[in-house]
Structure 1
Amino acid sequence: MKTVQLREAKAGLSALVAAAESGKPTIITKHGEPAAAIVSVEDLQKLYPAKHRNFGEFLLTYPGGIELERNESPSRDVDL
């Protein structure tokens, strides 16, 4: 795994992105300490899999059913 300083990463970002796409991640250091990493989207999705792809799927994963009771009493009169 390649390691570069932040200023080098800024100057050669396109090359680092191309390397990440081909499966070669890069660690970026700041003041000599690891601060970030550039990895491919495929590797990122392996690390952080999407639990829910859309809101509809999220709602369908609710573990229990929702039972709602409707209040059948008539609405009150309002003077406008």
Structure 2
Amino acid sequence: MTKWQVQEAKAHLSELIEEADKKGPQIITRHGSEQAVVLSITDYRALTVQRANLKDYLLGGPKVDNFDVKRSRDKGRKIRL
């Protein structure tokens, strides 16, 4: 990711937007610390897409209404007490 100082980002906003679109997220710094990120609209939408919650995910799995479990009729070995 490329880092831009605030002054540089202001002066070259069009270039900053193009870089975000072509090369990915661009970081804007102020006094050497990271302050903001510019994303392409594609990256932004990928991050903000609504995802199902855990309950919906688990309930959305394959349906097993006719689930028959075949159990062994073996009662195990005999032991003396």
> Do they superpose with TM above 0.5?
yes
3-state SS, counterpart of residue 22 of structure 1: helix
TM-score by length of 2: 0.56
How many equivalent pairs are there?
51
Please identify the structure whose Cα radius of gyration is greater: 2
Comparing 41-50 with 11-20, greater Cα deviation is found at: 41-50
Structure 1: 5+ residue runs without aligned partners? 52-80
CA distance, structure 2, for counterparts of residue 18 and residue 50 of structure 1: 27
Identity %: 39
Structure 2: 5+ residue runs without aligned partners? 52-81
Is residue 23–residue 40 contact of structure 1 (8 Å, CA) maintained in 2? no
CA distance, structure 2, for counterparts of residue 36 and residue 50 of structure 1: 23
TM-score by length of 1: 0.57
Q: Which residue of 2 aligns with 1:73?
A: none
Moved >4 Å (runs of 4+):
none
**CA offsets 1:8-35 (integer angstroms, 9 cap, x no match):** 0001110010111113321000121111
The alignment's C-alpha RMSD in Å is: 1.5
